[in-house]
Structure 1
Amino acid sequence: MPRSVAQRFPRADDAVSEARSFLGGVLEEWAISDRSEDAVLCLSELATNAVRHVARGDFVVEVSLDDCRLRIEVHDAGAGAPRLGLPSDDDTDGRGLLIVWSLADGWGVEPHHPCGKTVWTEFKTQGCGTPIGVIPC
């Protein structure tokens, strides 16, 4: 059975760490451990982009699990679409989506009209978790 949960975060200095904690708790509750570190790191990058590059409003993190596919979405009110950068060795930022691209099984951007977007990333996971009350074979 598909699972989904979401939480809203304010654009604030501690929002990224709160979003990471939220996802960590969800993954622990759903008994997903094989891709948890990658998923939390990718969420950190997407949430950081929402905090740094969106001028107004909160952002929402939505986490879903369906058929052993973990999907993490960050919804924000920002215009434009993030894209992979080509930072030089001396650049101190611009590597976030490269990290997402290298760790995740997929990622993308879905624009919302008239404003906003969803940036998502997906992970194939072996441990789909066992529903509460179910005894595995």
Structure 2
Amino acid sequence: MPRSAAQRFPRVDGAVPEARSFLGGVLEEWEITDRSDDAVLCLSELATNAVRHAARGGFAVEVSLDEGRLRIEVHDTGAGEPHVGQPSRDDTDGRGLLIVSSLADGWGVTPHAPCGKTVWTEFKTDESKTPIGVIPC
């Protein structure tokens, strides 16, 4: 059975830890433990990009789980399309999407007209083997 959860966050520094906490709570509730650390780290990178580069307003995080596929989306109003950077050893930033591309099973960008985009990432995961409502012996 597909599941989903969503929450909006303001475009402020404290929003990234709040977004991580939101996702952590959702994953705990859904009993997703096998990829939770990777998922939270990738969300942290995408949310940081939204706070740094979104044109105005806040950002939204949407999480869905369907048939063993965990999808995390970050919606913002920023223009442009994010890309994997090639920072030098001395650069102090620019590695976020490198991290996402190395940890996630997939990621991408969906532009929205007239402005904004959704940056998403997906993880294959082992859903709880016990059907909802069934108490194991």
Sort the TM-score into its range (normalised by shorter chain).
over 0.9
Q: Extract unaligned runs of 5+ from structure 1.
A: none
Pair 1:34-2:34 in alignment = yes
- 1:20-59 aligned at under 5 Å gives the runs 20-59=20-59
Report the alpha carbon displacement of residue 33 of structure 1 after superposing the two structures with TM.
Answer: 0.2
Q: Extract unaligned runs of 5+ from structure 2.
A: none
Distance 2:129 2:10 in 1: 30
Contact 2:105-2:122 within 8 A present in 1 as well: yes
Amino acid at match of 2:18: E
TM-score by length of 2: 0.96
Contact 1:30-1:129 within 8 A present in 2 as well: no
Contact 2:32-2:127 within 8 A present in 1 as well: yes
Q: Secondary structure at the match of 1:133?
A: coil
**14-23 vs 47-56, which moves further:** 47-56
Identity across aligned pairs (percent)? 82
Distance 2:103 2:109 in 1: 17
Report the alpha carbon displacement of residue 58 of structure 1 after superposing the two structures with TM.
Answer: 1.0
What value does the CA root-mean-square deviation take over the aligned residues?
1.3
Distance 1:117 1:128 in 2: 32
Report the alpha carbon displacement of residue 135 of structure 1 after superposing the two structures with TM.
Answer: 3.0
